[in-house]
Structure 1
């Protein structure tokens, strides 16, 4: 089971992306738990995640989250703005898997 956490400003703008990522994971036969939270919940949710992807509108938070992610032993990155804008669940899923060393 791959636990993929997405963080965005309010936790709502990524809900469609979560659905698209889940569809892509199912098509690939990858068992996942994917969820999105608002920026103020991201740090506490990291303990349940294998990877953290940050919405492009929050790229300024990467340094803040990096310390907590490093302590938790999870990779993190900013979601590609083009993939985010296109709601390209497959591309974002592939990035998450790559960060986890699964691709």
Structure 2
């Protein structure tokens, strides 16, 4: 994602964190969008309640994009969530 953003001339801060750190990241306003890896998709319901409360869009990363490390597609999904096109 970072390489795809750089290639597109976008200066985004993109980072990964553990599932156990989601509450901390939301509490401190460190995220504009939250994307879960497909391996933790089972957490989507609980996390969605938290992101809705924080006003942050969220989704689960497409399994194929994740597996193929297709940062361009994952970045496009994040931008769609943010309304950036």
TM-score using structure 1 length = 0.78
User: After the TM superposition, which segments of 4 or more aligned residues of structure 1 sit over 6 Å from their partners?
Assistant: none
TM-aligned CA deviation for residue 44 of structure 1? 1.3
> What corresponds to 2:42 in structure 1?
60
Aligned with 1:33: secondary structure?
coil
Task: Say how many residue pairs are matched.
Answer: 83
Candidates 52, 71, 80, aligned match of 1:70:
52
TM-aligned CA deviation for residue 42 of structure 1? 1.2
Q: Where does structure 1 lack aligned partners over 5 or more consecutive residues?
A: 1-20
- Please give the per-residue CA displacement for 1:51-71, whole angstroms capped at 9, x wherever unaligned: 000000111101111111011
Q: Which has more strand, going by share of residues?
A: 1
Q: Distance in 1 between matches of 2:47 and 2:83?
A: 20
RMSD in angstroms over aligned alpha carbons? Answer: 0.7
Q: Distance in 2 between matches of 1:26 and 1:59?
A: 28
